[in-house]
Homo-oligomer: A and B are copies of this chain.
């Protein structure tokens, strides 16, 4: 059904791997590399030129790479200068602006918007409609849910850009806001609609508005017991799938 070769534009300077499929109406601009076995669905733009393109006659598109075994779903736009590792997956209409670096096995959901110069580790999952401001930093195994936001301006409007950071294994629930410059530790859970306005230590459960913080290791759900850290009870898509987190930790270092 798909992949009929209709209305596709591929730059002569792009490098397309083996067994790559490119959907109808898609565009691959200069200096893009697509890894083997990847699927670029219809109506996507890979290597979108930066603003300088429109004004600078000597503009050269910076290199853009998407690793092997990736899928970019339709209507997504990935700017030039991005480096995305293997086993990447995007939803529809994702925007990833320039110079973002994304690790392996990440997925970014429909309508999510990464504003550029973002760093994301491995095995992260951003659901639909997540907004990440420039210079934000996200560790490994981080999940963010719809309409969560990382902001970067401490007193808008200013030029004092301070991207916040989120540590490994942390979960950021729907509509949560992480304010500019805030450091969120590892293994935190940030509740729905909570505005995180100060540093969170590892293992923080932060909920409510204004934010209240407790140690998540003391958090017990009736009939379920201790649910966090979550890695021993959830394996789907994680590198410890079929092996168990403890065994995997012994065999690997986090982030491998």
Contact = CB atoms under 8 A, between A and B. Distances in A.
Contact of A25 (B1, B11, B25, B53): B25
A166 to B, nearest CB: 14
Interface residues of A, number: 70
Given A145-B151, A156-B173, A113 B128 contact: yes
A136 to B, nearest CB: 12
Contacts of A129: 113, 129, 131
Nearest to A151: B174
Interface stretch (A41-49, A98-106, A244-252): A41-49
A143 interface: yes
Give how many copies assemble into the complex: 3
Contact of A11 (B1, B43, B92, B227): B1
A77 B54 contact: no
A91 B115 CA distance: 11
Contacts of A113: 110-111, 128-129, 146
B1 A29 contact: yes
Contacts of A177: 174-175, 192-193
A159 B29 contact: no
A25 B29 CA distance: 15
A2 interface: yes
B233 A158 contact: yes
Mostly helix, strand, loop or mixed at chain A's interface?
Answer: loop
Interface in A69-103: 71, 74-75, 77, 91-93, 95
Contact of A61 (B1, B45, B61, B158): B1
A157 B234 contact: yes
A168 interface: no
A236 interface: yes
Nearest to A128: B113
A255 interface: no
Contact of A95 (B2, B25, B71, B110): B110
A117 interface: no
A115 B128 contact: yes
Contacts of A146: 113, 131, 149, 151
Contacts of A145: 151, 156
A217 interface: no
Given A1-B29, A9-B6, A74-B77, A195 B193 contact: yes
Contacts of A92: 77, 95
